[in-house]
Amino acid sequence: MTRRCRAMTFAGGEEGVLAPELSGGFWLQGGPLTMAGLRGRPVLVDFWDYTCINCLRTLPYLVEWHRRYSPHGLVIVGVHTPEFSFARRPDDVRRAIAEFGIEYPVVLDADYAIWRAYNNRFWPAKYLVDAQGRLRYYHFGEGAYQATERAIQHLLLEVRPDLALPQPLPPLREEDRPGAVCYRVTPEIYLGFLRGAVGNPTGLVPKQAVRYRDPGLHAEGFFYLDGPWVADEECVYRPWDALETSRVALRYTAREVNLVLNPLAGQPARLDIWQDGAPLSPDCAGADVRWDDQGQSHLVVDVPRMFRLVANGDIGHHELALATTTPGLALYAFTFVSCAIPGWEMRLQ
């Protein structure tokens, strides 16, 4: 389960419980490490997944905290626990590590061993451990960046009270401001038959190539299939021998839209995109969108990852339509990004 935001939580102070070990994973970078071997240094354990938009939005802060505080003793450990089965592949996670400039240690928790040891339930999740190995703070979801950085500084100063530390990072986005109030957006929409919020009256037929028909009327929070699709546990994908175009449509409320995609055939796949009945224009297109010579907006899906489809200038209600003729193109989950309401601020206690 992904989590947008929650306040930084105090986990018991100097009497906090010992943090669980980091055993059971495959170290991709900077390891293997153990909690016992890290005694004497504060540790930030970050559960993340490279397909999760909420995780990706926290990474710039983590990268900068590593740069700022690793010389003073902080150790950040990224625990990559995959939400989807393809994200268990080490090479794909290594590609994401390089793409996002992550230099701190990362362990691939493909079998959820570390996740279960921490009794974790959310992406992203951060656990701060003091120099004695005790769990002191935790935070689920985005947000509370300045509070988290102050907690990091507090644990560093417990070890070395003479440290001269900088002011916490200013918010990188308007919605990261302490007390910022954001618009409600469409919740995450999964497409596989185990969790899929399909709006077609027939529902999803597992593991079979089915010719679906879009009913035409769309309710927000659901996706609607048209043409040939196969519904798998985690995704829907275009059948290998289909002739008719495969389409999906949905209504949404958000500023930005992202979609997790996977070219199952191992070759680049094309996905055409329309918003409100027209191809995307440059002022509302996500960072991964391209245009062909006819002006049709589309994605080229070359590797399994999250793709940025739409980046509207503001929050709004829209209809999104997608189409593909590439066999094996798989769609896993839509995610939606909000923005801060101008002039609104929650009073923090």
* pLDDT, tens digit, 9 for 90 and up, residues 106-160: 999 999 999 999 999 999 999 999 999 999 999 999 999 999 999 999 999 999 9
Residue 349 is predicted with a pLDDT of: 39
Per-residue pLDDT, 191: 98
List pLDDT tens digits, range 72-105. 999 999 999 999 999 999 999 999 999 999 999 9
Confidence at residue 343, expressed as pLDDT on a 0 to 100 scale: 52
In terms of pLDDT, which residue wins out, 348 or 81?
Answer: 81
What pLDDT is recorded for position 175? 78
Amino acid at 291: W
Q: What is the pTM of this model?
A: 0.91
Q: What is the pLDDT of residue 217?
A: 95
* Structural domains for the chain: 9-172 (3.40.30.10), 189-341 (2.60.120.260)
At 221-244, the pLDDT tens digits run: 999 999 999 999 999 999 999 999
Confidence band (pLDDT; 50, 70, 90) for 348? very low
pLDDT at 9 (0 to 100): 55
Tokens describing residue 1: 């389960």
CA terminus-to-terminus distance, the chain? 27
Residue 60 in this model has a pLDDT that exceeds 70: yes
Strand order in the sheet with 75-80: 9-10, 135-140, 125-129, 43-48, 75-80, 106-108, 26-29
**Statement: residue 347 has pLDDT above 50:** no
Band (183; pLDDT cuts 50, 70, 90): confident
Query: What does pLDDT average to over the chain?
Result: 93
Task: Specify the long-range contacts of residues 340-343, CB closer than 8 Å, at least 24 apart.
Answer: 340/174, 340/175, 340/177, 340/180, 340/181, 340/182, 341/181, 341/182, 341/183
The position carrying tokens 């995704």 is 235
**49 token code pair:** 């997944």
